[in-house]
A = this chain, B = another copy of it.
Amino acid sequence: MTDIAAMLNTYPGKPSPLAEDALVLCLQECLNCTQVCVACADACLADPDRAALANCASMALDCADLCGVTMRVVSRQTAFDPVLLRAVLTACVEACRACYEECRRHALDHEHCRICADACHRCSHACRELLASVG
């Protein structure tokens, strides 16, 4: 459980025009995906199959970074800039897409890649839902 929804309701400024449900889900999935990607990259390093997983580790590191920064930008409502928000969410969608494509190739053989592909897929979906709400 997280305090994401509770914190949203305490914001003392003008609330952003974003749909609250989409906002909460996006933040939740970004938080989860950033941790899963850090752990998947680490598992790729430790895996005997690491030669085949080098691209996967690198993609997961990119995705961890994008999900983390998207969580931060989406959490901030004070300087709401829809053009920036769209660009950040789009970059996060691409990072999740790239990591998902690589991870699912290894999903049958490596459970860490299966979980990571799933987390990326959900995060990408949540970012696209929020994008639709930015207008």
Interface residues of A (CB under 8 A from B): 1-4, 6-13, 27, 31-32, 34-36, 38-43, 45-48, 50-51, 54-59, 61-62, 64-66, 68-69, 71-73, 75-79, 81, 83-84, 87-88, 90-91, 93-95, 97-98, 102, 110-112, 115-116, 118-119
CA distance A91 to B35 in the complex (A): 20
A92 nearest CB across to chain B (Å): 8
A128 nearest CB across to chain B (Å): 13
- Please name the residue on chain B nearest to A101 by beta carbon: B81
Residue pair A81, B98 in contact (C-beta under 8 Å): yes
A116 nearest CB across to chain B (Å): 8
Residue pair B12, A46 in contact (C-beta under 8 Å): yes
Residue pair B7, A115 in contact (C-beta under 8 Å): yes
CA distance A48 to B71 in the complex (A): 25
The 4 closest A-B pairs by CB, nearest first: A13-B46, A58-B79, A58-B78, A10-B112
Q: Contacts A73-B65, A90-B87, A91-B84: A39 and B7 contacting too (C-beta < 8 A)?
A: yes
Residue pair A84, B98 in contact (C-beta under 8 Å): yes
